[in-house]
Chain A
Amino acid sequence: MAPTLAAFCVGFIWPFLHGLYLSFCQFTTVDNAKWVGLGNYAKAFADTSFIDSFYFTVAFVIVAATIINVTAFAIALALTKELKGTNIFRTVFFMPNLIGGIVLGYIWQTLFNAVLMKLGQPLLALNTQAGYWGLIILLCWQQIGYMMIIYVAGLQNISPDLMEAAAIDGANHWQTLLKVKLPMVMPSITICLFLTITNAFKLFDQNLSLTAGEPAHTTEMMALNIYYTFYARAGAAWKGIGQAKAVIFFLLVVIIGLTQLRATRSKEVQQ
């Protein structure tokens, strides 16, 4: 009990509060902080690379979350029907989820660069378009299996009575899907959307290893932008600005996560 609390304070609460405080300061280490008020926030919003990374992240999250959830749901639907080899498919689809972000990034970097070379296109380090789609494909590869597992569990929870009732009422395939299955797995949809959106928003490792923001910071997502602001920019002001960006980033994640939860929760049916 006590060690957990102590560690939780050192590992989370203290850094969090301290970080919040430092976002209003100019500093290079934690000891030489000087209060500057909202200056860091003003500079953070004035930093075009940060705003660009915001748009890039949003474009990424919307497309990635949609593809992942639709595909995962479709696969889950197919796998809950009587198919031979379902277990093997499940095993295979889930596997990439266990591989770390850095490793994934380099696996796909090699693959994409080889494909781009075959096509005579510029390589990843010089190709924003490829970087964007590369990140999306990578994240899909990693997360579809995970979300599929959640959807499968949700689909298997639907009571057979309900399906039978629908069949007796003469519902066709599509009607059953839209009017029975979809509302019944709404809790799973809530979870999956929440996980994909927040994870995609916070994506860092994959971004760092696949493109590292190249070319010229055009494939940089917010987390990476903050990291670079802290550790790759010279000048005393940047650490404070980085911390201010981090606070903005944190608020964004919380707001988006909560809005999404509220929006999909309201569509869940009472069981």
Chain B
Amino acid sequence: MNKTKKSLGSTSTLGTIFFSIICVLYLYPIVMVVMNSFKKETAITTAETFTLPNAETFAGFQNYINALRAQGFLQSFGYSAFITTSSVALILLCCSMCAWYITRVNSKLSKLIYMLCAFSMVVPFQMVMFTLSQTADSLNIFGLRFNTPWTICFIYLGFGAGLAVFMFSGFVKSIPLELEEAAMIDGCNPLQTYFKVVFPLLKPTMISVGVLETMWVWNDYLLPTLVLDIKKYRTIPMLIQYFRGSYGRVELGSMMACIVMTVLPVVIIYLLGQKHIIKGVLAGAVKG
């Protein structure tokens, strides 16, 4: 036993060194963007892309200031943050209830809904993009319109429901029915049963679904582009794409700064909640 451990030791050191090098290479693109975000516009597109900013090319925080001021980065960040939190909260609440309902009420209709949800996960967005955006633009319920950042979460609920209901259903099936029956006997109505018994039990799945949906909504480009008015509201992906779309010349400096400011919070959140995020993504993959 000791012997094998020793021989493992030497190969594992080699392995560690090997992977360390690969990791550094893996991170390089991000490092490069950070470097370039501190350079002057002209230096980014020349052969100096790979060098650290020097006295001549160093632009200080100019790119960042420009991105914050002229490009309205903070506004976009706000829209993105609001849309993501509202959509994910709505999806978690509504879809977990819906999944609970269709799993417990075992009718033909609920089976159909379940199948449709599974089905909706494979359908490419291009299939529905035109009709969906037109519907979202024209739909008007009691003066409530759906093409604003404040209400786009309902569209996300609709399109994100498939994955969420599918995952929640899988988990609800594993909750023993006796628990809910006991709650009913104790005099809980269905809503109370849901919030006091089922909801707490669903917590791990909530985290998984929450992580997956957050990643999707935060990074989504096409849906908000088609639904929102790009002149008024820009989420972060829209803003970054807009750099190329609108001006003849791309303002690379501000773009680099924007990218850094977009990636940074994601990386920080990831490092803090790594365990949950990886677990969540894994659970999603295995269920899907």
Please give the residue numbers on chain A whose beta carbons come within 8 Å of chain B beta carbons, in ascending order: 1, 3-5, 7-16, 18-19, 22, 29-30, 78-79, 81-85, 88-103, 106-108, 110-111, 113-114, 117-118, 141, 146, 149-150, 153, 191, 195, 198, 201-202, 204-205, 208-209, 212, 223, 226-227, 230, 239, 242-243, 246-247, 249-250, 253-254, 257
Contact = CB atoms under 8 A, between A and B. Distances in A.
A1 B255 CA distance: 42
A208 B256 contact: no
A78 B124 CA distance: 35
A83 B122 contact: no
B222 A107 contact: no
A117 B26 CA distance: 21
Given A95-B270, A110-B33, A150 B259 contact: no
Contacts of B158: 7-12
A93 B113 CA distance: 37
Interface residues on B, range: 35 or more
24 contacts: A4-B95, A4-B157, A7-B157, A12-B159, A16-B123, A18-B131, A19-B128, A29-B134, A83-B19, A85-B20, A89-B22, A93-B23, A98-B215, A100-B221, A101-B219, A107-B29, A141-B29, A195-B285, A195-B288, A223-B125, A230-B129, A230-B130, A242-B130, A250-B123
Contacts, number: 238
A209 B127 contact: no
Closest 9 CB pairs of A and B: A11-B158, A100-B219, A114-B49, A7-B158, A15-B128, A4-B98, A15-B131, A15-B132, A7-B157
Nearest to B214: A98
A89 B262 CA distance: 23
Contacts of A150: 282, 285-286
Nearest to B238: A102
B285 A15 contact: no
B241 A118 contact: no
B44 A110 contact: yes
